[in-house]
Amino acid sequence: MRIFGKGRHRPSASWRQATDRAFTLIGDGRYEDAGELLTRAADLEPWLSESWFNLALLHKFRHDWEQARAAGLRAVALLDREAGAPDWWNVGIAATALQDWPLARRAWQAYGLKVPGGATVAGEPAGMELGSAAVRLSPEGEAEVVWGRRLDPARIEVLSIPLPSSGRRWGEVVLHDGVPHGERTTSTGHAYPVFDEIELWAPSPVPTWVVLLEAATEADRDALEQLAADAGFAAEDWSSSVRLLCRMCSESRMPSDEGEGEHLDPHDHSEPGHPGPLGHRTDGQLWVPERECGVAAPASLVRGLLDGWVADSPDSRDWRDLEEVC
């Protein structure tokens, strides 16, 4: 993260020492002390874009978006190249956090991205078609990687049902950082970046429920997930989808599927009987009918949804112990 001038002007030794020390303090979480040093560095070399980039970065870490926007704008005003500078990306994140949509559009375009709509469009960027990605919720705590849809370069709509420990819900929009930490690959070989959440951008009114299912077959389980999706909500078999990974594995290139056959995933750090891919096996059996399932649906709908699922095949389906968890 250390940024030193390489172009028009070589920063002074005092600037380099203050900046070096500041990023050491940032690594220790001492943002206030780091801010004093980076402010001193900016006073020493106010004509260096790096001085203001570093301050904008610090304010981003602190979620002080007004200050991040102000410092970011000073940084981009001093740039000596046309497009692609990370300074513009930080401005875009700050502008998105503040819902300053004209500036957000300007930032993404200056970075080199195509943004639908003309320069006079005041609303939030839409239709950028950035596809799917994964986002790591609570990256500094009990981190959880979930799937989502990228709305723009700084926001992801969560499409998985997060575990209650994350404090997040299905359908929420989170602000995320620009540099991915890890990848998830599919069976087709396609790789999706994993971005770190910065903060919640838009909450979801839809609660998360946990329920124990009796699903005789995978098709029975799939029927509930499809029924929830048809109703405009979601259900997810946590018994199959949850995998416990160490930080090193989580931040590396990881397959997103559970796999097939008798080969256990060497990166899965869950234990038998606890959530994790292939962790619910019994001898000679790949499917266990009792499933722990997350459901994202309103209180007025969730029981009717489950009862309707059972009614479609009462001999192979049942549910119990429904509880709202987030």
pLDDT digits (tens, 9 = 90+) for 201-248: 999 999 999 999 999 999 999 999 999 999 999 999 998 865 544 444
Residue 238's pLDDT is 92
Kindly compute the dihedral angle of the four CA atoms of residues 100, 101, 102, 105, in this order, to the nearest 10 degrees: 130
What is the C-alpha separation between 202 and 22, in angstroms, rounded? Answer: 32
Percent of the chain with pLDDT over 70: 82
Nearest alpha-carbon partner for 76 in 48, 43, 41, 40: 48
Whole-structure pTM value: 0.81
> Tens of pLDDT along 13-72?
999 999 999 999 999 999 999 999 999 999 999 999 999 999 999 999 999 999 999 999
The confidence score (pLDDT) of residue 142 equals: 78
Which one, of 78, 58, 77, lies nearest residue 68 by Cα?
58
What is the four-CA torsion angle of 298, 301, 303, 307, rounded to 10 degrees? -150
Q: Do the Cβ atoms of 190 and 129 come closer than 8 Å?
A: no
Highest-pLDDT range among 179-188, 230-239, 244-253, 266-275 = 230-239
Q: Is the pLDDT of residue 296 over 50?
A: yes
Handedness of CA 166, 167, 168, 174 (dihedral sign): negative
- Measured CA to CA, the distance from residue 296 to residue 74 in angstroms comes to 43
